[in-house]
Structure 1
Amino acid sequence: MSDIIQLLPDHVANQIAAGEVVQRPASVVKELLENAIDAGATSITLLLKDAGKTLVQVIDNGKGMSTTDARLCFERHATSKIKDAKDLFNLNTKGFRGEALASIAAIAHVELKTRQHNEEVGTAIKIEGSSVISQDVVSTAKGTSLAVKNLFYNIPARRNFLKSDTVETRHIIDEFQRVAMAHPDIAFQLHHNGNEVYHLKESNLRKRIVAIFGNKMNEKLVPLDEQTDIMKIRGFVAKPSYAKKKRGEQFFFVNDRFIKSSYLNHAVNSAFDGLLENGYHPTYFIYFDVPPNTIDINIHPTKTEVKFDNEKALYAILRATVKHSLGQYSVAPVLDFNRDATLDTPYTFKDKPAVSTPKIIVDPDFNPFKNEQISSPAPVTQKREAIPSSSPAQKTSSFKTDYKKDAGSWESLYVNTYESTQQEKLFESEKETETGKTFQIQKKYILSTIKSGVVLIHQSLAHQRVLYEEFLTNITIKDANSQQLLFPINISFSSSDIEMIFSIKSDLESAGFVFNEFTKESVVIGGIPTSISESQISLILEQLLDDLKLEVPDASFSHYDVMAKSFAKSLAIKTGTILSVKEQETLVNNLFSCKEPSVSPLGKPTFKTLTLQEIDNIFSN
């Protein structure tokens, strides 16, 4: 029998490796940015076209490469970062495997231009699918420029799996933000299709975070700073009042490398116990400086997961650090037994006498009915006859006499009238309830009777279905109506969110929004759909951005669908809302008028039917 095991050709092996290293354009961006940082660059520019599918180019002013290094860097496992296995446990650089450029060159058209600082000319190399097309001597700027064009051109199946430009751009911006926040001492620029998205100057950590997420972030931040024998913790957490329902702005960095850790996230959440509403998550930017030999970053291909030698100690220190900072800056309530109580009194009031209690003066002879004589209780529906005028003394005397004589009858008339009125209202409401066909249960479900039994409806999910189909009809079929705002609203967003809103501007205008102006950090809205109120604009747009950041398949219908789902989710009645009988019946009727009443826009069931047979079976056992 012949041998069946054989060595794979290099270009096939590189394509297989690319499946692990390069998942999408954002993976290329991450690898190239990290290489530029390892090269000692102080200024890095990222250029994109079509969300990186057509072009990803990184230009840096690092130390550059020699002619030999420029050719060798595209070989597998060729690296300048490590020399033996021991170096894996003492890493101070971003990349170290030597697989990134070889994998990228196997699935794209790559153009490299590089020159060292002490050289007068540089090297230019062109590679297509692992094959070197040309290598020339060129005049180029100091540093390195690497352009990756037509990603996955030779693997159409992989290219078809890429998401829409909006989603892929979101992933690229996420990677760019993580690298930029880890290195505030490096200047970064990001251009997409000729538009400048970020221009980050060299600065400190706080200014870098504010430059990325907008000026409003500055007032939210609470600094962290803790030095221990095993680590140093620095960074910021956001005040509890600015917590969000989404976990978007949560960043951990270990030795200036972004990581993900549910274990450390739990430590931060536990530090916020009692300060956040249920379902809300804190925002944080936390940096750990630990000895390189105490962590292992080689446990995941993307190097976003790290294994610590002393996880429990790190958990306790992180939790205590966050708690201490929240208390130190008066964000969380604390008990301070060393506080001088006299300092609580303002100095201007310290020596003033105590405020005297005001006196209450009552006039026992005051009579509000001194111009009216009451002789006997008259029916409520009849007018009393006018009493002849007399002197004030006679009026007062007569009032006192008549009041004493008829007090009992007046009181009984008032009490009896009140009780009878309340009883009538009570019986009326009971009759209303008995005749109603729906009942609200625990402010969450609606129970309605049908011929075959009963139906239990989830009020929030049912309302989402009703609103979803209504919005979808208005956006795609009907001409959306817009109401102009007397005073346009200015809403602040981060630069990446502004870019995303601008990319779906036409879709939002089809839904009824009117945009007056776009700036780098805000959007001016002059008109909104008639179905939403002015106070809901910010909530709806934030919800829409969160939904768009998810991986929605690219289709001509997708943006409208996501918008309709976001609008419905934001505006639907919530659990805990009390509905009148009329509102309950209207919701039930609208639900069963929908095309798909059985499921919510997100696929959850809206109601459950119980037949009489099923109900009988419950009690027969």
Structure 2
Amino acid sequence: MSSIIQLLPDHVANQIAAGEVVQRPASVVKELLENAIDAGATDIKLICKDAGKTLIQVIDNGKGMSVTDARLCFERHATSKIRKAEDLFDLHTKGFRGEALASIAAIAHVELKTKQEQEELGSHIVIEGSKFVSQEPAVLPKGTSFSVKNLFFNIPARRNFLKSDVVELRHIIDDFQRVALAHANIHFTLYHNGSEVFNLPQSNLRQRIVNIFAGKTNEKLVPINETTDILSIQGFIGKPEFAKKNRGEQFFFVNDRFIKNGYLHHAIMSAYEGLLKDGAQPSYFLYLDVPPHTIDINIHPTKTEIKFDDEHALYAILRSATKHSLGQFNVAPVLDFDRDANLDTPYSYQNKEADYPTIQVDSTFNPFAEEKKQPASSGNSFSYKTKTTAPSSWDSLYVGLKDAFEPQEMQFESEAITSSLFGENEVEKAKTATYQIHKKYIVSPIKSGMLIIDQQRAHQRILYEQFLKNITIQHASSQQLLFPLTLYFSGNELALLQELRSSLENTGFVFEDITSESVLISGMPVTVSESEVSIVLEQLISDLQDEIPDSSFSQMDSMAKSMAKSLAVKTGTYLTETEQENIVNNLFGCKEQSVSPFNKPTFITLSVEDLDKKFSI
């Protein structure tokens, strides 16, 4: 019997490895940026076209590679960061995988230009789908330029699974921001389709955060700094009043490497306990420095998950450090029984001399001297003694008081007594009345029994169809604001609002201007109050930021769902009888009244037969 196990060719093995290393264009961006940082670059440029599908180019001024190294870097298991297995537990670099460049070269057209500072000429290498095309000397500046063109050109199935350019660019920006936040001492620039998206000069950590997220980021940052034997923490956390619905501004860095860790996130959330609204997420940019031998960063293909030796200790330290910073900067209330705020010296009195009290003595004062008698009243003088005469008929003043204080007879509304259990008026009212149960359900009687309506889901369905109709027919009424409303968002959020501007204006929003830091709103839909504008837009951005639909109709549908979810009456809201009837009538005026926009039932029917069965037990 012939053998059925055989070794795979290198180009097939590289394509299989590429499935783990390269999931989308953002994966290539991450690998190339990390290699540039490991090369000691101080200036890194990222150039993308068509969200990385056509071109991803990273240019750095690092130390470059020799002719031999430039050729070897595309071989499998080739790396300059590891010599033995023990090095995996003492890593101080980023790109140690050894298969990244080989995997990228297997699924794209790759062009490498590199030169070391001491060399006169550099190397220019071209590889297409793991096939070596050419290598020749070239006149190049110091550093490396890595171009990846036509990603997944030889795997059309993988290319078809890529999302729209907007979504893929969003992932590229996310990875770019994570690398830029971890290295504030490096100048980063991002270009997309010829336009500059980010230009981040060398700065300190706080400036780097503000340059990336813009808006009022500087106002909401609270510094945190804690050093222990097993962990060093520095960075910033956000004030509770600036918390948002989404988790877009939450970053953990361990030894300058971005990670995701739900356990450490829980430590932050527990420190904010009692300071946040339901569903709100605080911002944090935390940099943890731990000994390399106490972590294992090789447990996940994308290296975004890390195994810690003692997670419980890290949890306790991180939680206490966060609570300490919130209390230290008067963000959270603290208990201090030894300090009296009334004894604090105002700043204006710190360098002022104390004023000593003075005593004034009246030397002419004689307590035994007789008071001078007042002269008799004359023309302009006033006499203190006035003669008061009582009215002759003083008893007439109290006439009528006795009758005023006597209790009068109380009258009660009489109830009509009828032979039936309910009167005719009550019976007529019961036919059309609605009732609210536990501030969650609306009960409405019908001929065959009763309807039990979920008020939140029903209102979502009503608002969803209204918004979808307004967006589709591009006509909606708007209420103008007396004073325009200014809202601050990050650069990514403002770019998304700019893209959705026309659709939002069809729902009733009126935008005066959208700048690089804020948005100015002068009008809003009739169904939205001024206090709800920021909530609606934040929820919309949160819902659409990760997965924006490809087609415009799906995008409009997602917008209508998000706005309906934000504005619908919530469970626990008291509704008047008129509001209950409006929800019932409008629900059954919808095209699809049985389910909410999220395919959840809006009502159930309870027939008389069902009630009879309950009582027949």
Give the alignment's TM-score, normalised by structure 1: 0.86
Q: 1:154 to 1:505 in 2, by over 3 A?
A: farther
2:100 aligned residue: 100
What's the counterpart of residue 446 of structure 1? 442
In the alignment, structure 1 residue 538 sits paired with structure 2 residue 529: no
Contact kept? 2:64, 2:114, Cα under 8 Å:
yes
Give, in whole Å, the separation in 2 of the partners of 1:225 and 1:327.
13
Q: 2:57 and 2:347 mapped to 1: Cα distance?
A: 63
Q: Deviations over 1:361-390 (max 9, x none)?
A: xxxxxxxxxxxxxxxxxxxxxxxxxxxxxx
Question: Per the alignment, do residues 188 and 394 of structure 1 end up closer, same or farther by CA in structure 2, a change over 3 Å counting?
Answer: farther
2:556 to 551, 557, 560: 560
Shift of 1:114: 1.5
Amino acid at match of 2:592: E
Question: Equivalent residue of 1:557, what SS?
Answer: helix
Amino acid at match of 2:544: L
Q: Which moved more, 1:235-244 or 1:499-508?
A: 499-508
SS at match of 2:442: strand
- TM-superposed CA distance for 1:233, in Å, is 1.0
Q: Which residue of 2 aligns with 1:459?
A: 455
Q: CA RMSD in A?
A: 3.1
In the other structure, the counterpart of 1:183 is 183
- Find the counterpart in structure 2 of residue 54 from structure 1: 54
For 1:19-98, list aligned pairs within 5 A.
19-98=19-98
- Matches of 1:119 and 1:428 in 2, distance apart? 104
Matches within 5 A, 1:416-427: 416=411, 420=413
Q: State the match for 1:150 in structure 2.
A: 150
CA shift for structure 1 position 137: 2.3
Q: How far did 1:492 drift?
A: 1.6
Q: Where in structure 1 are there 5+ consecutive unaligned residues?
A: 354-392
Cα distance in structure 2, aligned partners of 1:492 and 1:589: 39
1:325 paired residue number = 325
The match for 2:255 is 255
Change beyond 3 A, Cα 1:105–1:617: farther
Secondary structure of 2:445's match? Answer: strand
Q: Distance in 1 between matches of 2:197 and 2:441?
A: 46
Relative to structure 1, the CA distance from residue 394 to residue 434 in structure 2 (aligned partners, 3 Å threshold; closer, same or farther) is: farther
Q: What is the CA deviation profile of residues 471-495 of structure 1, one whole-angstrom value per residue up to 9, with x for unaligned ones? A: 1111113534455555443322111
**Residues 238 and 282 in structure 2, CA contact (< 8 A), matched pair in contact too:** yes
The range that moved more, 12-21 or 497-506, is 497-506
Matches within 5 A, 1:376-525: 400-408=398-406, 412=408, 416=411, 420=413, 434=430, 436-483=432-479, 485=481, 487-525=483-521
Q: How do 1:281-360 and structure 2 match up within 5 A?
A: 281-340=281-340, 343=343
CA deviation vs aligned residue, 1:488-546 (integer Å, no higher than 9, x gap): 43322111112222233343344444444332212233444444344433222211111
Contact 2:215-2:518 within 8 A present in 1 as well: no
Q: Does the residue aligned with 1:20 lie in a helix, a strand or coil?
A: helix
Relative distance call for 1:485 and 1:446 in structure 2 (3 A) is same
Paired residue secondary structure (1:573): coil
* Alignment partner, residue 14 of structure 2: 14
1:66/1:617 CA distance change after superposition, 3 Å: farther
Partner of 2:368: none
**596-605 or 476-485: bigger deviation:** 476-485
Match of 1:383 in 2: none
Mapped partners of 2:281, 2:96: distance in 1: 35
Secondary structure, counterpart of 1:241 in structure 2: helix
CA separation of 1:2 and 1:250: change in aligned 2, threshold 3 A: same
Q: 1:282 to 1:2 in 2, by over 3 A?
A: same
Q: What is the match of residue 205 of structure 1? A: 205
Deviation at 1:463, TM superposition (A): 0.6
- 3-state secondary structure, aligned to 1:412: coil
Corresponding letter in the other structure for 1:214: A
Identify the residue that residue 139 of structure 1 maps to in structure 2. 139
For 1:556 and 1:341, locate their aligned partners in 2 and report how far apart those are by CA, in whole Å: 58
- 1:242 Cα shift? 2.1
Change (3 A) 1:400 1:51: farther
Give the match for residue 243 of structure 1. 243
TM-score (norm 2): 0.86
User: 1:562 Cα shift?
Assistant: 1.3
578, 588, 591: which one aligns with 1:592: 588
Compared CA separation, residues 86 and 486, structure 1 to 2 (3 A):
same
The change in CA–CA distance for 1:75 and 1:202 in structure 2 (over 3 A counts) is: same
Q: Aligned in 2, Cα 1:612/1:351: closer, same or farther, shift over 3 Å?
A: farther
Cα distance between partner residues in 1 of 2:506 and 2:109: 39
Please show how residues 597-612 of structure 1 align to structure 2 within 5 Å. 597-612=593-608
Structure 2 residues without counterparts, runs of 5 or longer: 358-390, 417-422
Distance change >3 Å, CA 66–CA 428, structure 1 → 2: farther
Amino acid at match of 2:546: L
CA offsets per residue over residues 322-360 of structure 1, 9 Å max, x none?
Answer: 11111212222222233256515879999999xxxxxxx
Q: Show CA shifts across 1:143-194 (max 9, x none).
A: 1111222221221211221122222222111111111111111111112222
1:295 to 1:347, Cα distance in 2 relative to 1, 3 A: closer
Query: Counterpart of 1:285 in 2: which secondary structure?
Result: strand
Match in the other structure for 1:386:
none
Q: CA deviation at 1:246?
A: 2.4
The change in CA–CA distance for 1:589 and 1:342 in structure 2 (over 3 A counts) is closer
- Residue 217 of structure 1 corresponds to 217
Per-residue deviation, residues 566-601 of structure 1 (Å, max 9, x unmatched): 211121112222111121111112112222222222
Whether the 8 Å contact between 1:250 and 1:285 is mirrored in structure 2 is yes
Find the counterpart in structure 1 of residue 277 from structure 2. Answer: 277
Residue in 2 that maps onto 1:581: 577
CA deviation after TM superposition for structure 1 residue 37, in Å: 0.7
User: Does the 8 Å contact 1:36/1:60 carry over to 2?
Assistant: yes
Instruction: Report deviation, 1:317.
Output: 1.0
SS of 1:112's partner is strand
Whichever residue aligns with residue 10 of structure 1, its letter is D
Check whether the contact 1:436–1:581 (CA below 8 A) recurs between aligned residues.
Answer: no
Distance in 2 between the 1:155 and 1:92 partners? 35
The answer on whether the counterparts of 1:465 and 1:600 sit within 8 Å (CA) in structure 2 is yes
Deviations for 1:299-336, whole angstroms, at most 9, x for unmatched residues? 00001110001111111111111111112122222222
The alignment covers a number of residue pairs equal to 575
Alpha-carbon distance between aligned partners in 2 of 1:348 and 1:185, rounded to the nearest angstrom: 39
Q: Is the 8 A contact 2:465 2:590 kept in 1?
A: yes
Q: Closer, same or farther in 2 for the Cα pair 1:28/1:395, shift >3 Å?
A: farther
